[in-house]
Each structure stands twice: as C-alpha cells, then as structure tokens.
Structure 1
C-alpha cells in the first residue's frame, strides 16, 4: 500500500508554457525593475541576469562537489541586479519582482484536467501528499495557491530552497528524512523519465510515469523505468492505479 504520494509539479499537475527569451519579455522586465528604482536597458538586463545565474550555479556546484544536479534561488540574482544600480532591495521588493518576472514570462498556466479530483480522491483515501519539484519557491507557492492546490499538500520541497534538484539522490533523501517517510510506502508521480522516475528509483521509491506534451522525448515505453506508465497524459487514470494497491 502506498501511504505517501510524491508529486512532481510542472508537467504533472500544472500545464505551463513560459518564454524568458523574447525581447518583448525583457522590455517588460525593465519596467518591473524601473518600478523598484533600477534603470536597465533590455539587453543589459538580459545579459546581467544570465551572468549572475551562471555565477550562482557555479557557486552551488562548488558547495556540492559530489552533486551533479544543483539549483539556485533566483531571489539572490534579483537582489544582485538591484544592487548593481545602488538599490538595497528588501524581501518584499524581491518577491514582488519575482512575481512580475514570472507573470510576464508566462504564456499560460492551468491545472491538467482531473487534478483536483485526483488530489481529493487521495485525501479521501487517507493518503499523504508531498511535492518534490525542480522550481523556484517564489514562483511556485503563489501559483499553487492561485490554482487552489496548495492546501492538499502535507509537505513541500522545492529545489531553489534546497540548492539541489532532481534526479539528485540527495534531494530525494532530504524529503525522506524531513518527513520521516518509509520508501516502501512511497510512490513518485511525474512526467520526466530521468528526473522523476530514475531519481525515485535511486532511493528505492516506485514510480508512476505520466507522459505529457512537455515531457522529455520518449521514443519507446521501454525507456521509462516505472511501475505504471500513462502514455496518453490522462490524469484521470492515476487515482485508480494508485488505489489499486490498497485492495
């Protein structure tokens, strides 16, 4: 029986498309920083942002020399960008900047059909629900709240907070340790054959794979190591599979 269901977020529960590459987006980002008192040109902001992201990733790799998959907190990048213009940004300004940055780069965001029914069904069956996501906390928590799924989770772990990302084994181990999980009672649900399925397997957790349009390419089902595979992206099929172990 699976008592603890661990979800990936984007591409599993939330369907999203973003664009952080277009000049139009960076023009909007310039306006966001201007409201905080920092003046940039679009090209300057884009190049400085990329530079500080690379530096932050390099620092995290030095801090975790045995880990291949690390992450950063973009709030620190936003802080450095303000600092370059002589602005000492407090956490309120940084979070406001992060929110606008995300909103302006988002083409669309929505729950996959059947997600609320899935989460409700798991709760009604007495399951504990956890999130293990490669994401930015400053983006993810507001989006989960706005989409109405935040209250369903018993525990949340996000890569930007831990400075590690899936499929890094230590990222999974942190979740297991923090919430005192028995891996034999856990199931990982995700849309990425490597980050989600192989990452879970590395710590002895079974996987339920769901293939979505934004999933990494899978040429053949045999490439996916998982107990169950839902290749047509139908979220409605997940609950019966999970609860079948209770019978």
Structure 2
C-alpha cells in the first residue's frame, strides 16, 4: 500500500451542508442577545461582529499567522461583555443558535460511513483536518455519526490557523508523527485543501463536488485514481460517489 494515512476535509468532501447567514438569522441571534439585556438589532449585531472579528484576525495576522481562524464563540462572548453582560456560556450558546438558524441542510454524502469503514478495514489510518469551528462542528460530527470514525480530529479553530496554512497541516503531521510521503489529503477545494497539502509535502485527491467553489476547475479525468500514471501524487475525481471512490482508493 503506497499510502498509510488518509486525511479528509469535512464540508464538501464528506458532508453536504448549506447555510445562509441572512438578515433573519442575525435578527434571531440579536433577539437572544436581547433576552440577556444586550439589546441590539440584527444589523447592529452583524456590524459589531464583523468589526470584532476583523480586529482579531488583523492582530493574529500581524503577530504570527497568514490564515488565522478565530473561535466564533469568543467573538460572541466579547460582544456580550461590551454590553456589560458577563454570564458564562452565552457566547457559545449564541454561536450555536446562529449556526442552527442559518442551516438549511446538513447530511452525509451517500455511502460515507461505509466508505470510512471499508478504508479502515483495508488498513488505512483516517484523520480529519477541517477548516471548522469546534463550537459547531463537534456537535455536527456527533449528529452525523462521524465522531468516532477517525484516528484524530483536527479543527482549525483549535489551532488559530486554517488551510492552506502549512502550520495547520504540521499540527497533524508533527503531533501524530506522520510521514508526509505516505499521506493522501482528500478535499474539495483546490486553494485550501489541495494547495495547502502540496505545500506540506502530501499527495492529494481533489474532489470536484457541489460545494467546490464555483470558480474552480472540474476534475481532470486523466488523474482519476486507477487511471492516473503509477507515479501520480495529484489525483482528481469528479463527484461525491463514495461507493465508487472507495474501491479506487483501496487499489492505491
């Protein structure tokens, strides 16, 4: 087996999700703020959130990071504190309310659980490396039945940086003592998952799915696993058919 470790992106790779951060979502979140005495309109809350997030991202970028990832709930906590409300847990609750209110659907792509089980049975170790907020994603993983499917879960908000930053890839590679030459990164975004993995020395499998950014090119059929040259380290696959894809991966 050429590869021993498979590293997965989450949203758009294993999970189909659609969120809409509409004015109505901000109004509902503002109502929650108002329940605790921090009255504001949805538009006011949105502007305050964007200012606070931008300030924290700028500070992080200036000090150590090109691609900072600021925990969402910390920003919500800061907004409560600026209104004089210091009750513990309100930021987390507001963040989760915002996420649920914005979510139109959340579901696994077909055959994902069967695919992960088959790949593990084949002998691969499985890792999750996702640009994601723990305050949302930890619960979504549990809801989807993914929480116990990986040897380790790495979420960008825990590391204050995100793909494509090499530091986020290094967190996994260094902590788990993985050999980059034997790791395959699987993701649906050329600019974050794939470019970042290449920079970290990993082989890659680009999935062109319905959640791939619309400006990115479809998969090159000549790079499909099983059709690509034997020395290929930059695979590509069109779609989210995990039943077919698993059979191809098991032959790598």
- Could you say which residue in structure 2 is the equivalent of 1:196? 193
Report Cα offsets for 1:12-37 as digits up to 9, x if no partner: 011111111x2211111112223444
Show the counterpart of 1:24.
24
Please give the secondary structure, in 2, of the residue aligned with 1:210: strand
Q: Does 1:43 align with 2:40?
A: no
CA distance, structure 1, for counterparts of residue 67 and residue 18 of structure 2: 23
Q: Which residue of 1 aligns with 2:226?
A: none
* Stretch moving more, 93-102 or 50-59: 93-102
* TM-score, scaled to structure 1: 0.91
Alignment pair present for 1:239 and 2:239:
no
Given candidates 72, 76, 99, the residue that maps to 1:102 is: 99
Other-structure match for 1:83: 81
Give CA-to-partner distance per residue, 1:107-163, whole Å, 9 cap, x none.
111111111111111222232111111111111110010011110011111111111
SS in 2 for 1:57: helix
Structure 2 residue runs without a partner (length 5+): 224-231
Quote the residue 2:235 is aligned against: 228
Aligned-pair CA distance for 1:221: 4.1
In structure 2, C-alpha distance between the alignment counterparts of 1:96 and 1:165, rounded to whole Å? 23
Give the number of aligned pairs.
Answer: 240
Contact 1:230/1:237, CA 8 A, preserved across alignment = no
Q: Which structure 1 residue ranges, 5 or more long, are not aligned?
A: none
Output one character per residue of 1:27-70: Cα deviation in whole Å (capped at 9) or x when no partner: 11112223444222112111111111111111110221xx4222
Q: Which residue of 2 aligns with 1:59?
A: 59
Q: Could you tell me how far 1:102 is from its partner in structure 2? A: 0.6
* 2:133 equivalent in structure 1: 136
Query: What TM-score does the superposition give when structure 2 sets the normalisation length?
Result: 0.89
Question: For residues 136 and 144 of structure 2, what CA distance do their matches in structure 1 show?
Answer: 12
Change (3 A) 1:88 1:146: same
| 1:69 aligned onto 2:76 | no
Deviations 1:74-125 (A, max 9, x none): 12101111112111132x3332222111101111111111111111112222
Within 2, Cα distance between the matches of 1:130 and 1:227?
19
Distance in 2 between the 1:89 and 1:125 partners? 49
C-alpha change, 1:166 and 1:28, in structure 2 (3 Å) is same
